[in-house]
């Protein structure tokens, strides 16, 4: 199966909390696709944790847009290290808000950088990540007598069957990496001695486990 260019996204929204020298750090993560959605999420967290000492934030989008806020912490000690974690993990379409409840002990600039970075990193580990790639939808039509063997062959080769429809013939909908369409057509011709072809459909983004 041919690989395809991909990005990394969080597997789900979530909140993860850590404690450092009696200060509580709650990292809220969410998948977003626009700056407006990121801003709305940050505003929602601020409203929920209105009594917190700080609600620092960072986001990265597939468009290349990214931004961070220290929300009153010393410049560069919160939003920037949060954004650096998202970039280092190669995450996109994600917003992170770290809510801090001050515990009475000052952490210093270096301590704040480590704390905010750790809060985001551990939150990402907690929610997990997925690989997002662009796939082409292909429709394969086969006779009932051939469909069972063809479906087994497709699955054995690791191709992603999205749907199987039964009528006068069998229709198999397959998602193929955008960069591997030509190779898939050649493979299909070899497997069916040229008796089965695939009709090209639209594209779809799929989120898959890393390494899949």
Rounded Cα distance, 93 and 62, in Å: 6
Phi-psi region of 143 (alpha: psi -120 to 50; beta: other; left: phi over 0): beta
> What pLDDT is stored for residue 210 in this prediction?
73
Looking at residue 50, its pLDDT comes to: 97
DSSP state of 178: G
**Residue 4: its pLDDT value, please?**
47
Block mean pLDDT (10 aa), the chain, length 212: 67 96 96 96 97 97 94 96 96 97 93 97 97 92 91 93 93 92 93 90 86 59
Query: Taking the model in full, what pTM does it have?
Result: 0.78
pLDDT for 211 equals 61
Q: What residues pair up with 89 in beta bridges, in sequence order?
A: none
pLDDT at 191 (0 to 100) = 92
- CB-based burial label for 139 (10 Å; 0-12, 13-18, 19+): middle
What domains lie within the chain, and their CATH numbers? 6-127 (3.30.230.30), 132-208 (3.30.70.240)
Strands 54-60 and 129-142: unpaired
């Amino acid at each position: 199966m041919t690989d395809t260019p991909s990005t990394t996204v969080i597997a789900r929204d979530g909140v993860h909390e850590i404690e450092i020298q009696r200060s509580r750090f709650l990292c809220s993560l969410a998948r977003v696709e626009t700056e407006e959605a990121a801003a709305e999420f940050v505003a929602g967290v601020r409203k929920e944790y209105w009594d917190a000492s700080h609600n620092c934030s960072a986001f990265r989008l597939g468009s290349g847009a990214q931004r961070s806020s220290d929300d009153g912490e010393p410049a560069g000690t919160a939003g920037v290290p949060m954004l650096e974690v998202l970039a280092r993990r190669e995450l996109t379409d994600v917003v992170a808000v770290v809510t801090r409840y001050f515990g009475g002990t000052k952490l210093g600039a270096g301590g704040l950088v480590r704390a905010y970075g750790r809060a985001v990193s551990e939150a990402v580990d907690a929610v997990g990540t997925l690989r997002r790639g662009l796939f082409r939808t292909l429709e394969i039509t086969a006779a009932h007598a051939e469909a069972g063997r063809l479906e087994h062959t497709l699955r054995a080769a690791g191709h992603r069957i999205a749907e199987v429809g039964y009528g006068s013939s069998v229709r198999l909908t397959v998602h193929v990496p955008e960069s591997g369409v030509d190779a898939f057509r050649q493979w299909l011709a070899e497997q069916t001695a040229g008796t089965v072809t695939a009709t090209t459909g639209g594209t779809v983004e799929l989120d898959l486990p890393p390494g899949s």
